[in-house]
Structure 1
Amino acid sequence: MPARILVAEDDRKQAALIRRYLEREGHEAAVVHDGRAALDHARRRVPDLVLLDVVLPGVDGLDVCRSLRSEHDVPIIMLTARAGEDDLLLGLALGADDYLTKPYRPKELVARVAAVLRRAARAARAEPERYHVGDLVVDLARHEVRVGGRPVDTTPGEFAVLACLAAAPGRPFTRRLLLERVGGFGRDVTDRTIDTHVLNLRRKVEPVPSRPRYLLTVFGVGYKLVEPPEEETGGAP
């Protein structure tokens, strides 16, 4: 399963060794040595997987993981010399898919990469046909939206944004990532396009659009779709 892999490792000898083993497996490996470069590279060309050292100059690996996870679904394997359980739990809580403690054998790293890529491929193939978030239903197969059983008409762009958010309830999505997911990098499309879709969706699915309970703004980031408290569900009045 050849993949584009970004290696963010400040130890240049270790990074070269990782690259060599990955390329032997047929992968395309790009190497950077600091956190800022890792973010810049991933934003220019989203990789299939990121190998991310925790201790990086500039922006550390945990902050890189947090930023990447808010923008992309790219699988992340954290690499660290820290063996403490707190660091392990923090890395996983930030969205890392796996965690490898140094020193490790390169063959073990390659095996972990293969395992994470397989899981990601299975998850992509197993995407459900219908999402339920509270009493909001997004039916991909029928291209339908319902709130409390009530059908909601949406444009193709609105449906794409809602389906993307419904696939990961509670997760903040940046406007850039939403644009990328809905195929919106046309010449006349900007971040404001996402704002307009969300505004229109709120008018259609929220009982009180000015006080949204589903489509929430995450200030400084973008938007997320959440399940309202149980006492608030039950459809629009």
Structure 2
Amino acid sequence: MKNFFGKKSAPINPGTVLPVLPFSGNRRLFLQWAGMTSAAGVLLSSCKNDMLGPDGAARTGIGADVDVNLGSGDVGILNYAYALEQLEATFYERVVANPYSGMSAMERSILMDIRDHEVAHREFFKAALGSAAIPALAIDFPGVNFNSRDSILQTARTFEDLGVAAYNGAGQLLADMRNLNTAGKIVSVEARHAAIIRELLSPNSRAFAGDDVVDPATGLDKAMKPGEVAPTAQTFIKQGLIASNLPTM
């Protein structure tokens, strides 16, 4: 599989590749998250430094002119999910912080719930991946009018549909069933987000599970490989994401 985008400079590589999600961050945060998802099979490791890179330096954001290597194996797939969760969480944080004109109380409540879920997903991956996690990404939303209901909800639909398809496509690439179990719990939440956003756009219609996302012949949701998801996601992520080492079927 080719890189998402061409190289801009020497890429930043993730830390040590581990077979399953390790946890090396805030134990209380992890237990809260795991409790919400019925304790998915993610392994706890001893609490050490919070988010240290391979060189021992704390992981923070990086410049937009640096490529980010997602890594390989299960960690590469989980970093891929982490990148998508960073994108979604940042979007909803901005939407809730600056409500579009005419946002109803119900819509605000829904969007706040989605924001909270996406932030929980982002922070879960950040803590669980530990030193193997990619850095915080620089994210922008060109073409999105944050004062327009239609622009926000159309963008939200794109992100939620993309997220569901991305998890469905990447799940089959995970080697450890505990990681697959965790991904399955997250994608079910993403699907709920997609359904309610579609309902807001087209009330009292079949759009919540339209034929464009659910195959009417099989009843299965769409699945997309990382290389198919990349062009849309990369539009909003300033760093180049290197996916050439991700597993393939």
What TM-score comes out, normalization by structure 1 length? 0.27
**Whose RCO is larger (CA < 8 A, sep 6+)?**
2
What TM-score comes out, normalization by structure 2 length? 0.26
Q: Select the structure that is richer in helix.
A: 2
Q: Select the structure that is richer in strand.
A: 1
Larger radius of gyration, structure 1 or 2? 1
